[in-house]
Amino acid sequence: MIVLFIPSSSGRLELLRKELTEWDKMYQRIVMVESEGDRLAYNKSGAAGEIQIKPIYVKDCNRILGYEKYTLEDRYSREKSREMFEIIQSKYNPERDIDKAILIHVSGYEGYKKSPQWWYLDRVKNNSFK
């Protein structure tokens, strides 16, 4: 279970308890492996944000949507990064298979089909986020 404090309309913080699904836990494991939770992370290959989104990922999201919704700056937003992750997964992994989701994230859909990166799958699945 995760506990969040969110601002209410009165300006007070309200407690929100949410049971994390296996899908949520998998996403959090990806965050920890990719950036240790740093939404401002950037690497020399051009990946950025907490799940290390590359420019081609942003471009693919916009292509799937059919319009330019996301920019490279959106990779630094936790909310928009999660939205982009969900768009990619709904297109290439509508059945929400956890292993497939992890492999698609690291290598893209074509890479997932050609040469799965099993080392990354193991790294994410063995991350201790609960």
Mind listing the pLDDT tens digit of every residue in the chain (130 residues)? Answer: 554 555 556 666 555 566 788 899 899 999 999 999 999 999 999 999 999 999 999 999 999 999 999 999 999 999 999 999 999 999 999 999 999 999 888 877 665 566 667 677 778 888 755 4
For the chain, give every domain's residue range.
Answer: 22-125
Does domain 22-125 fall under CATH 3.40.50.300? My reply is no
What b/e string do you get for 100-129 counting C-beta neighbours within 10 Å, with b at 16 or more?
A: bbbbbbbbbeeebeeebeeebbebbeebeb
Residue that has been written with the tokens 């290959």 in this structure: 45
Fill in the amino acid letter for 12.
R
pLDDT at 3: 47
**pTM for the whole thing?**
0.79
Query: How many other C-beta atoms can be found within 10 angstroms of the C-beta atom of residue 53?
Result: 25
| φ, ψ of residue 104 in degrees (nearest 5) | -65, -40
